[in-house]
Amino acid sequence: MIAFSVLFFVFILGVTIGGLLAAGKHPPSFFLYGLFTFAFLVVCFIGMIVGLLFPSFLIGFWFIEFIICVLAFLFIWAACTRFHPSFGFFFVQEKVVLNLLFFLFFFMGFEWGIFDFRAFFTIFASVVFGIALFIGIFIQWQLRQKFWQFPYAVYFPCIWLFIITVIKIF
């Protein structure tokens, strides 16, 4: 049950990031898609290794969940306040959004290590994340075509992550 809820959060996070990638003026390149998937794999794997080495009785599972939820809320806030109409949410000069995203990936991997999930789970979660990125890009492009006159349609993916993060808290 825990693995399913973790994978569901990974899926929603992937759909959200995919939607945010598609919010720029130009469609995301395959290189950017692969870079985000690879970054997710590497950073979560490092977090998983640190979590496996960390004695789980010293820290409560609820504390890691709380940190992940706070980082998700901070990521949503940073993404919404730093959106650039031409470049989108992720661009070279924007370091805060990417740093928060990498911290979120790290603590997700740390949580998996605390739960004693191993490398196979991280690789499987990365595949789920990659598929979710593609789905998020597809959904956001459909929403952009349908709601092209609404400038706030680029923030729809943040709403999905906000709802799931609120559910994750409880």
Does this model's pTM top 0.75? My answer is yes
Domain boundaries, the chain: 8-169
Query: Measured between alpha carbons, how far is 30 from 43 in angstroms, rounded to an integer?
Result: 20
Query: Measured between alpha carbons, how far is 10 from 25 in angstroms, rounded to an integer?
Result: 26
- Name residue, tokens 């499987």: 124
Structure-block tokens of residue 62: 């609820």
Mean pLDDT of the region 110-117: 91
Q: CA dist 142 to 139, 153, 156, Å?
A: 5, 11, 12
Alpha carbon distance, N-terminus to C-terminus of the chain: 15
Mean pLDDT of the region 140-166: 86
Phi, psi of 150 (to 5 degrees): -100, 115
* Sequence-distant contacts of 122-128: CB under 8 A, at least 24 apart: 122/41, 122/44, 122/45, 122/48, 123/41, 124/7, 125/6, 125/7, 125/10, 125/44, 126/37, 126/40, 126/41, 126/44, 128/7, 128/10, 128/11, 128/14
Q: 163 vs 151, which has greater pLDDT?
A: 163
Q: Could you read off the pLDDT of 120-150 as tens digits, one per residue?
A: 999 999 999 999 999 999 998 888 888 877 8
Q: 57 vs 110, which has greater pLDDT?
A: 110
Q: Could you read off the pLDDT of 9-31 as tens digits, one per residue?
A: 999 999 999 988 887 777 788 89
- Name 48's Cβ contacts closer than 8 Å, sequence gap at least 6: 109, 110, 112, 113, 117, 118, 119, 121, 122
Position 102 pLDDT exceeds 90: yes
- Name residue, tokens 């706030």: 152
pLDDT confidence of 160, banded at 50, 70, 90? Answer: confident
- Name residue, tokens 């949410």: 89
